[in-house]
Chains A and B, each alone.
Chain A
Amino acid sequence: MNASPPSVSDAKQQAWQYWFVDGLRHLLLGIAILSISICMLYPPRPRAFWQLAIWAATLTLYVALMVRERQILEWLKTKITYPRTGYVQSPFDVTDLAVSPNVLELGLAPADERRAEAQRLLIAQRRQLWRAAALVVAGSLAMLLIESRWVYTVAGVLFALAMWALRRNDKVSWVAIVGIPILGTCMTVFFVPGSYPPNRVAWFMAGWGGLFVLDGTIALTRYLLRHPMSKVAEP
């Protein structure tokens, strides 16, 4: 027998991680960030039909990924993930109400201690999320407001810290965590002062999106190699 989930919270955690194991979510997120950065980098010019067409296509792709992300992800999972390793309801659909707060995990520690431990974990998780959001906002504001080439290195480090905080829950790989500070440092070193300001942010976003695409592609390739399609007859 495999290592089985000994508790409800473990089963929940495994189901959450299963949602990210195929890399599709990061792949779509990366494509969305890339497409909006391309729109920012190449704004449409009059009398340039192809440029306008490409701009409109990337913008449409971005809007579609933002508005229909869930449906696109479900469709891809139906083709790739569910036939290989099975279907489980998205963790975003499972509300906390589904698991009764009165349910206690089985264990040898007294009930009060277990309840306190569960509460502590929940608070720590929320605090981590807020910390990551604050780091991302600080990095973004710094890029937009501060006119210095070093701001990209600082923003890269802040973004990396934010992703490092989310690495367990959102399965962010080291590719993105290590890649972002390197990207920021590269932008500091190769940044040409005097270029149009929004482009610098767009290049940073393009790099970030590229890292997510790389992360998602690696995870997807690994997943496909580990789980080749096999016909399983169900009862």
Chain B
Amino acid sequence: MKPDLKELVTLDRTIHEPARLMVMTVLYAVTEADFLYLQRQSGLTQGNLSSHLLKLEDAKYVLIEKTFKGKYPLTICSLTRKGREAFEEYLRKMSTVSNAAGNGDQHPKRVRRK
């Protein structure tokens, strides 16, 4: 195995799960969003998104706050500093891996048999 590809083993599994990666990507881009927005963006069910958010909250990657905008209650989610750093680290590793895969040895040319 190439040294770059070994990065795959050290990937943060909390972020690597597709649904959580989606949530982290959205939150990284928008700074803060509420539960309903995340649900619409991810297409996850309420329970599913809720459980993923709890896992991210347990890892201290996401901060969940209950607040009000006027009379409308909001469950606002945002990335913590630790979450931002973990996400950036995750992207860096994935990028290294994809570069390693992209710049790797070419497939051997197929030889046509006569």
Q: Do A and B bind each other?
A: yes
User: Cβ of A11 and Cβ of B40 under 8 Å apart?
Assistant: no
Given the known A-B contacts A5-B25, A86-B39, are A78 and B70 also in contact in the complex, defined by CB atoms under 8 Å?
yes
Neighbouring B residues of A18 by C-beta, 8 Å:
37
Instruction: Using A4-B41, A14-B41, A234-B36 as known contacts, say yes or no to A88 and B30 having CB atoms under 8 A apart.
Output: yes
Judge whether B98 and A85 touch: CB under 8 Å.
no
CB nearest to A109 among chain B residues: B102
Within 8 A of A (CB), among B15-74: 22, 25-26, 28-44, 46, 50, 53, 69-70, 72-74
A95-116 contact mask (Cβ, 8 Å, vs B): 1 or 0: 0001110111011111100000
- Cα(A18)–Cα(B40), bound, Å: 12
A1 touching B44 by the CB < 8 A rule? yes
Across the interface, do A75 and B41 meet the contact criterion of CB distance under 8 Å?
no
User: Which B residue's beta carbon lies closest to that of A1?
Assistant: B43
Residues of A within 8 A of B103 (CB): 110
Q: Count contacts on B: residues with CB < 8 A to the other chain.
A: 41
**Interface size counted on chain A using CB atoms at 8 A:** 43
Nearest-CB residue, chain A, relative to B36: A86
A99 touches B28 (CB 8 A): yes
15 contacts between A and B (CB under 8 A): A1-B43, A1-B44, A2-B43, A9-B29, A11-B28, A11-B29, A11-B30, A15-B29, A86-B36, A86-B37, A87-B34, A88-B30, A110-B103, A234-B35, A235-B50
- Taking a contact as CB atoms closer than 8 A, the residue among A11, A91, A104 that contacts B95 in the complex is A104
B12 at the interface (CB under 8 A from A): no
Does B5 reach chain A (CB closer than 8 Å)?
no
Contacts known (A88-B37, A89-B30, A106-B91); A4 close to B98, Cβ less than 8 A: no
| Smallest CB gap from B66: residue in A | A234
A-side contacts of B6, CB under 8 Å: none
Residues of A within 8 A of B28 (CB): 8, 11, 99, 103
Task: Write out the residue numbers on chain B whose beta carbons fall within 8 Å of the beta carbon of A87.
Answer: 33-34, 36-37, 69, 74, 76
Assess whether B75 is interfacial by the CB under 8 Å rule.
yes
Interchain CB contact under 8 A, B33 and A89: yes
* A83 on interface, CB distance cutoff 8 Å: yes
Task: State whether B50 touches A7 (Cβ < 8 A).
Answer: no
